[in-house]
Amino acid sequence: MMGLMASEETRTMTPPTVRSSAAHEAREPGGSATRAWTMRLLVLGIVLSALNLRPAITSLGALLEEVRDGLGMSGSVAGLLTSVPPLCFAVFGVMAPRLARRFGAGAVVCAGMAAIATGLAIRPYAGGTAGFLAASALALMGIAVSNVLMPVIVKHWFPDRVGSMTGLYSMALALGTALAAAVTVPLTDTLGGSWQSGLALWAGLAVAAVLPWLPFVRGRAAAPGAGERGGDGPASAGGATAETPDSDGTEPGRKETSAAPSTGHAREETYAAASTTPAREEAPRLRITRSRTAWALAVFFGLQATAAYITMGWMAQIFRDAGVPAGTAGLLLAVTMVMGVPLAFVIPRLATRLPHQGPIVLALGVCGLAGYAGLYLAPAAGAWAWAVLLGVANCAFPLALTMVGMRARTGPGVAQLSAFAQSTGYLISIPGPLLVGVLYQHSGGWGLPIALMSALMIPQMAVGFLAGRDRTVEDEAGR
C-alpha cells in the first residue's frame, strides 16, 4: 500500500508552493538514489511515529479500573487523568514550531519518540498518583510536538499528495490506537495480571519509532515552515530552489529564486546532510487570530478532541458498568479505534476532492449522535453497533488534519495554522474528560455524561461546517 501511495499523485485543493532541495536533487542523476531512500525512510518514520501517538492513552483506558484501584484514584481524579492528554498537547504543542526552527523537524520528532518511550517505561513504576501523572506528562509531551509537526512534514515533503499521506498517517495512528485498546488486557493477563507490565510494554514500540528519525538529527537545519530564523544547515547550501512570495504580495509559487549553483560537492554530501530538512521558506507574517477560518478549525479540533478523549478514556468503563466483561470492553474500544484505519485513508482523499468539507463533518456528527443515543438506551445490547458508529464519528480527527493542510497555501502557513488549531483546540478539550469523571462520580451513572457528549456534538458540527469552506488563512489574516 505504501508503494502504491508513493507512486500516485493525489489532487488537492492546495497547490504545492515549495520545491525542496531534495526535490531539486531528484531531477539530477546524482541525487535520485538518495532522494528515493530518503523518502522511504521518511514514510517509515511517519508511520511508526503515528503508531505511537495514542497507545499511551488507550492502553490506560483499557486498564483504567485496575489503575484506579492500584493507585487509589476517585472518579474525579481519574477524570483529571483523562484530561492530562489535551492539557499536555495544548501546553507543549505550541512549542513545536519554535523547536523545529531551532533543531529541525526530524530532530524534534525523534526526541518526541524518545520522550514517549521514557515516559511509558517509568510511569507504571513511578509510585503514587503524582508520579504516574508526571511520567504520563513526559510521554504526552513527545506526542504533542509530533502531533503538530506531522501535518507540516507531510505538507512540505509531499505537497501534491497531502490527502494520501495524511490518510496513511491517520491510518497508522488509528491502528496503533486500536491495537493498544485490543491487546493490552490480554497481554496483561499473559504477563501475570500486573497492570504495570501491561502499560510498560508499549515503551518498546516507541523505541522502534526513534530509529528512522536518527539520520535526520545529524546537522542542524531549518525545519519545514521554519522561516528566516532556521538553522544554517545544508538545506540552505547550494542546490536549493525555494519559491518565495513576490515583493508585491502576489501569491507564493509564482516566482523562483535560486541559491548558489549546485556543485558536485553539494550532490555528494552525506544522506543526513542532504535530507535533514528541505529548503527554507520565507515565513508569512500571519496574524492568525484574525482568521475566522483558523478559529473555526481550532474550535472544531477542540470539540472533536473532547469527544475522542472521552471515548478513549471512558468508553470501556461504560461497557464494563453495563455488564460487559473487561476483555470484551477492550475489544469494543478497539473496534471504535480501528474504524479509523480504512476511513482515515478514504476521508482525507475524499475531502481533498470536494470544494467544501462541511457535508463530511455533518455525516460524521450524525453517526456520533446515533452512537451516544445507543449508549444511553441499550449500552450492552447494541454494544458492537455503538462502537462502530462512534468509531466513524472519531474520524473527524483525520478530517481536521486534512483541513489544516488545505486551509493554508504555504508550508509556514500550515505550520502556524497547525500550531494554533491544535494548541487552542486541545485547550478547549481539557474540561470535557474531567467533567465526565465528575458527573459520573456524583450522579452514579452514565446518563448525564452521555447527555453532555451529545450536546457537544452540535457545536462541533456547526464550526466544522464553517471550517470546511474553501478559503485560506493567508487571505483572511494577511501578511
> What angle, rounded to 10 degrees, do the helices at 358-377 and 383-393 form?
150
Mean pLDDT of 175-198: 87
Element (H, E) at 123: none
E runs forming strands in 106-260: 241-243, 256-258
Band of pLDDT at residue 338, cut at 50, 70 and 90: confident
pLDDT of residue 478: 63
- Angle, alpha carbons 406-410-413 (nearest 5°): 85
Distance CA 65, CA 76 (A): 13
Least confident of 1-10, 34-43, 87-96: 1-10
SS3 content of the chain, % helix, strand, coil (to 5): 75, 0, 25
pLDDT of residue 218: 67
Q: Above pLDDT 90, what percent of the chain? A: 30
Give the list of residues 6+ apart from residue 383 with CB closer than 8 angstroms, or none.
Answer: 319, 322, 324, 328, 332
pLDDT of residue 156: 75
Q: In sequence order, what are the beta bridge partners of 241?
A: 258
pLDDT of residue 326: 82
Of residues 287, 313, 416, 273, the one with CA closest to residue 83: 313
* Model pLDDT for residues 41-64, shown as the tens digit of each residue: 889 999 999 999 989 988 888 888
* Model pLDDT for residues 432-462, shown as the tens digit of each residue: 888 998 898 888 889 999 999 999 999 999 9
Distances in whole angstroms, Cα of residue 378 to Cα of each of 372, 385, 390, 445: 10, 10, 14, 14
Of residues 399, 396, 398, 389, the one with CA closest to residue 335: 389
Least confident of 85-99, 244-258, 289-303, 449-463: 244-258
Mean pLDDT of 263-271: 35
Of residues 171, 169, 185, the one with CA closest to residue 59: 185
Dmax (CA) of the chain: 72
pLDDT of residue 240: 30
Of residues 65, 9, 304, 291, the one with CA closest to residue 170: 304
Radius of gyration of the chain (CA): 22
Distance CA 345, CA 338 (A): 12
Q: At residue 412, does pLDDT exceed 90?
A: no
pLDDT of residue 264: 36
Q: At residue 114, does pLDDT exceed 90?
A: yes
* Model pLDDT for residues 132-178, shown as the tens digit of each residue: 989 999 999 999 899 888 877 887 777 777 778 877 887 888 889 88
Distance CA 223, CA 86 (A): 25
Q: At residue 415, does pLDDT exceed 60?
A: yes
Count the neighbouring beta carbons within 10 Å of the beta carbon of residue 444: 10
Of residues 143, 286, 273, 150, the one with CA closest to residue 227: 286
Element (H, E) at 296: helix 292-321
Q: At residue 189, does pLDDT exceed 90?
A: no
Q: At residue 89, does pLDDT exceed 90?
A: no
- Rounded mean pLDDT of the chain? 78
Q: Which residue in the block uniquely carries the three cell numbers 469552506?
A: 469
Distance CA 107, CA 210 (A): 10
Least confident of 141-155, 215-229, 343-357: 215-229
Q: What is the dihedral of CA 448, 129, 111, 416, to 10 degrees?
A: 30
Name the range with the highest mean pLDDT among 27-41, 173-187, 449-463.
449-463
